[in-house]
Amino acid sequence: MDDAAVRPKSLKFKEPVIDVALCPTSNIVASSLITGHVFVHRYSVDGNERLFRQKVHKKSCRSVCFSDDGALLYTASKDRSWQAIDVETGVQKMCVDGAHEKSVNLIRYVNEQIVATGDDTGAVKLWDTRKNKPAFAYNEHVDYISDMVFNADKRHLLASSGDGCLSVYDVRKAKPYQVSANQDDELLSIALMRGGTKVVVGETDGVLGIFSYDQFADVSDRFPGHPQSIDTICKLTEDMCVTGSSDGLLRIVQLFPHKLVGVAGDHDSLPVEKVVLSHDQQWLASCSHDHTVHFWDIGYIFDDSGDGDGDGDGDGDGDGDGDGGSDEDEDEDEDEDVQATAIRISKEVGTESSADSDVEVDIDGCSDAGELRDRGADATEEGTGAEAEAEADVSVDVDGADSDGWGDSDDSEENKPAKKKRKMTKAEKRKAKRLATAELANPAAAAKKSKKEKAKSATPFFADL
């Protein structure tokens, strides 16, 4: 366990804490009590500061949540009402009495104009905060609403219920989007994972049920492993979450693949009511029946995940690019090798390095590499493949060249530099090997080739120099 000296001190109360919420923009925590009181503190490793304490409801305050900008705190109560409180001043901004026919046990902020509430009978309502009136009311469940989460990308509100069903609502429409089949167990908690493509629910028997999004008829996967009920789920990353169980443990769970990673906190065998993540991803806050709100260090999870992403991207890109280019070079056609050879010869004698050079190279009477390819194709049609390869396999002697390009105008022996012998490329070596094999197999073709080479020797290799 973490050393208490390096994390915010626990908040202790005289009465049981039912719910806890952390501000999404600052180090502020709100705690709701069974007495109807709400406490708001500023937490820090240097010490906690109470901002205000108010009795906002006549009966127990069952749920609290912040607006996205952290300016308002929403509360819901057993007295069938919900309120909105200014976090800076503690002044009440909105109050709706008699919001439901039965006790309101859950409230969730959707956006600036919508707040969602759920009650003990399974009713879900969407409230227009500009009018303090319900925009839509849904009655798809027959038991209490245990948890809700909003999918902003699809504008869907998802609700889990004690009747064993998951319901999905488009906040723009009066009818539900989808309702799952009964899972034969109470659904106690819910979280969106994998970029919103998976929905994870906690069940009474200690199983995590996993739905694929838009396929809510039944779960696509189940992950057992918790010895008791999973009462709350807090998303850490797209593949990792923290669960709070009835046995008092906060477990770090890896999904896809599924495994229990470790324990983040312990409430001494007392049921965990809620666990939430701080805005800076450094702390978890949790509440239990021990009248306290505890803080747990969880920053190391995000430090580790950041390092892993960097290494993976770098290695993958580097290896992929290098191997791909090497394979393509080995698979080039023989005709392309001949053209590349002519370009390399031009580089060695000081001509342009581009393949679009205007210099024409006469190779065995061919004005360019294209004509050489045509000659090789004709020879193949006549059944003299070995002879065509012999014409392509040329050993080149390059006579003198000055710094301006091709040869000097002075033809005297003393001004001519020594001849340079160009090394054969790998492609040319392969051709020479195949040619030698062909000559051994067909002596007649070899003799014919020898006569043709003698005729060629009378013509200078670079006739235009």
Do the domain assignments include residue 144? yes
| Same structural domain, 246 and 369 | no
CA dihedral 346, 348, 353, 356 (to 10 degrees): 10
Do 242 and 298 form a contact (C-beta atoms < 8 A)? Answer: yes
| Same structural domain, 126 and 97 | yes
Q: Got the DSSP string for 160-188?
A: EETTS-EEEEETTSSSEEEEPPP-SS-EE
Residue 151 phi, psi (nearest 5): -95, 100
| Local confidence pLDDT in tens for the 465 residues of the chain | 445 668 999 999 999 999 999 999 999 999 999 999 999 999 999 999 999 999 999 999 999 999 999 999 999 999 999 999 999 999 999 999 999 999 999 999 999 999 999 999 999 999 999 988 999 999 999 999 999 999 999 999 999 999 999 999 999 999 999 999 999 999 999 999 999 999 999 999 999 999 999 999 999 999 999 999 999 999 999 999 999 999 999 999 999 999 999 999 999 999 999 999 999 999 999 999 999 999 999 999 998 655 444 443 434 343 434 343 434 343 444 444 444 444 443 444 343 333 333 333 343 444 444 443 444 444 444 444 444 444 444 343 434 434 343 344 444 444 444 444 556 666 666 667 666 665 555 656 555 655 555 544 444 433 443
| Same structural domain, 142 and 270 | yes
| Same structural domain, 162 and 279 | yes
Of the residues 249, 283, 314, the one at which a domain ends: 314
Residue whose C-alpha is closest to residue 65's, from 118, 13, 29: 29
Q: How far apart are CA 384 and CA 344, in angstroms?
A: 28
Q: Tokens 């002879």 sit at which residue?
A: 387
| Same structural domain, 192 and 337 | no
Question: H or E stretch including 434?
Answer: helix 426-441
pLDDT at residue 310 in the model: 40
Q: Tokens 């390819």 sit at which residue?
A: 373
pLDDT at residue 446 in the model: 58
For 461, which DSSP code? S
Do the domain assignments include residue 321? no
- For 379, the domain range is 332-456
Do the domain assignments include residue 323? no
Do the domain assignments include residue 1? no
pLDDT at residue 434 in the model: 66
| Same structural domain, 282 and 406 | no
- 63: Cβ contacts below 8 Å, ≥ 6 apart: 18, 19, 32, 75, 76, 104, 105, 106, 107
| Same structural domain, 112 and 154 | yes
| Same structural domain, 36 and 72 | yes
Do the domain assignments include residue 462? no
Residue 344 phi, psi (nearest 5): -65, -35
pLDDT at residue 56 in the model: 96
Do the domain assignments include residue 24? yes
19 - beta bridge partners?
Answer: 32
Residue whose C-alpha is closest to residue 102's, from 74, 115, 121: 121
| Same structural domain, 260 and 288 | yes
Of the residues 262, 286, 314, the one at which a domain ends: 314
Do the domain assignments include residue 275? yes
pLDDT at residue 447 in the model: 58
Characterize 269-298 residue by residue with b for buried, 16 or more Cβ atoms within 10 angstroms of its Cβ, and e for exposed. eebbbbbbbbeeebbbbbbbbbbbbbbbbb
pLDDT at residue 414 in the model: 45
Do the domain assignments include residue 337? yes
pLDDT at residue 401 in the model: 39
| Same structural domain, 163 and 210 | yes
Q: Provide the number of structural domains found in the chain.
A: 2
| Same structural domain, 69 and 193 | yes
Q: How far apart are CA 117 and CA 95, in angstroms?
A: 13
pLDDT at residue 303 in the model: 85
For 12, which DSSP code? E
CATH number for the domain harbouring residue 121: 2.130.10.10
| Same structural domain, 283 and 369 | no
pLDDT at residue 294 in the model: 98
pLDDT at residue 451 in the model: 56
pLDDT at residue 132 in the model: 86
Of the residues 261, 287, 314, the one at which a domain ends: 314
